Amino acid sequence: MKGALLFHHSSLQSCQACWSWNSPSPSPSLSLHRLSAENKMGKDFIKWILALCMFCSVSGEGCSLILKPPRVVVGFGEPVSVSCEAARPVRVLGWESAIGGVSTQRDLSVQWKVDSLIDWIEEPICYGVFFTAPRQCEEKLNLVLYKTPDSVSIRPVNHNGPMLEGKEYQLLCEVQNIAPVQYLTLRWYKGQTEVYNHSFADLTSSSPVQVSSVLMVTPTKDENGAQYRCVAELELGPEGPRPPPSVSSEPLNASVYFPPTFLSPQPEVVDFVVGAELTLNCTASGNPTPVYSWQSSNPLGERMEEEAALSSSSLLPGTYTCTASNTLEKKSKQFIVKAKTKGV
C-alpha cells in the first residue's frame, strides 16, 4: 500500500504532515502520541492513519516527482546514481532504499547513489511530502541489476563419442548464475549460422539463476566436423550496454559416423588400350575412413589389393570389384575393363 509505505519510510513525518493538513485536530503531535500510547484505540487509530496516508499519496502521472533517468541498467558491482527532482515546492524529499537511503528538506532535488550495487532485491523509491495537494507522492525507480553468467557450456545428452548419421540427438546448453533471466536469450549456432534461439521472458527472477536449453539434431554426413556453440545474450533494452553482453560456450566439434559412399556407385565400363596406363578409382567418403579390397579373376599385386585406386599398365580385360568398408557397412562397386585396338 502506498500510504503504508510512506508511513514507514518517512518515519511518520509524511503521515504527520498529511494528517496535520487534513485533520481538524489542532494537535497532530498529540495524535501521534496516541498512536503509541492508547492501547484500547491503537488498532483502529493505525488503520485510520494508514487510510488517511493512502488518501493523501499519489504516484504516476499525478506525482510531481521526476526521476533522471527513469530506468537504469547496472552491472553487478558497478556504481549507480539517480536524481529525483520535485516539480513544485516540497517539504520533504527523499529516497527509501535498503542501501543509500537519503532525505532532504525543502530541496528540489535529491540523489540516490551507490558505489557498488550488489543487492538483488533493491527497489529504490523516491518520495515527496508537499505543501499543496496532492500532499504526498512516490516514484519507484525502474532498476535492472544484471550479471553475465559464470559459465556457458554445451554437451550431448546421454551420449558419448561420435554420432551416427540419421539418428536424433540432444545437445544441452547450461548457463550458470545469470541475471535477470527474463532478459536472456540463448542462441544456438552451427558454424556461423544461428539455428535456434530460446528466450526466458516467461520467467521472473531478479537474482542469479541456472538455466538450460536443448537443441535437437539429426546429423548428416555433411555435418561431420561441424562446430556447435551456445551464446548467452542479455538484451537489456535501450538503456543497456551495446552490443548486448554475451558469453559463448566452447565449441562442440561434431563427429558424425556414416557408411562408405561412392561419388558414382554404378558400375563403370572402361575401355583401354592394352599396355597403356589405366586407373580404376574406387575412392569413397566415410567415417571412420574406409579400407579397401579388390577382387578380380585376373591376378593383382598384394599391395594393389588394399589401395583405393588401381593404377597399372599391366591390367587385363575383365571385371574388377572394389569393396570399401568401415565399422558401419560395406559397399562394393564394379569396373568392367574392355580392351580396344590402337587407333580405333
Summarised one tens digit per residue, pLDDT across range 211-264 is: 999 999 999 999 999 999 999 999 999 999 999 999 999 999 999 999 999 988
> Greater confidence, 129 or 36?
129
CA–CA separation, 168 vs 174, rounded Å? 20
pLDDT band for 317, please (50, 70, 90 cuts): confident
pLDDT score at 302: 63
In this structure, what C-alpha cell is assigned to residue 102? 537519503
User: What residue ranges of the chain are covered by domains with CATH 2.60.40.10?
Assistant: 2-145, 151-254, 259-340
CB 135 within 8 A of CB 17: yes
pLDDT score at 27: 38
Query: Residue holding cell 543509500?
Result: 100
pLDDT band for 130, please (50, 70, 90 cuts): very high
Interhelix angle 2-9/39-56, rounded to 10 degrees, is 110
Dihedral sign from CA coordinates of 148, 198, 227, 330: positive
pTM over 0.85: no
Task: Write the CATH number of the domain with boundaries 151-254.
Answer: 2.60.40.10
Q: 47 - beta bridge partners?
A: none
Q: Reduced to 3 states, what is the DSSP secondary structure of residue 44?
A: helix
Q: Indicate the pairing of strand 227-234 with strand 163-164.
A: unpaired
- Average pLDDT over every residue of 38-51: 42
Q: Helices in 108-167 by DSSP H: which ranges?
A: none
CA–CA separation, 333 vs 199, rounded Å? 50
pLDDT in tens, 101-127: 898 888 999 999 999 999 998 899 999
> Greater confidence, 311 or 334?
334
pLDDT band for 6, please (50, 70, 90 cuts): very low
Q: Is the pLDDT of residue 21 over 50?
A: no
pLDDT band for 28, please (50, 70, 90 cuts): very low
What residues contact 73, with CB distance under 8 A and at least 6 apart?
144, 146, 236, 237, 239, 240, 241
259-340: CATH class: mainly beta
Among 227-236, 278-287, 334-343, the range of highest mean pLDDT: 227-236
Q: What percent of the chain has pLDDT over 90?
A: 62
Q: Nearest to residue 338, comparing CAs of 266, 272, 275, 294?
A: 272
pLDDT score at 62: 67
pLDDT score at 35: 36
pLDDT score at 122: 86
CATH architecture of the domain with range 2-145? Sandwich (2.60)
What residues contact 179, with CB distance under 8 A and at least 6 apart?
76, 120, 145, 146, 147, 205, 206, 207, 208, 209
Q: Is the pLDDT of residue 323 over 60?
A: yes
User: In one letter, which amino acid is 207?
Assistant: S
> Greater confidence, 44 or 158?
158
Q: Is the pLDDT of residue 18 over 60?
A: no
Q: Is the pLDDT of residue 55 over 70?
A: no
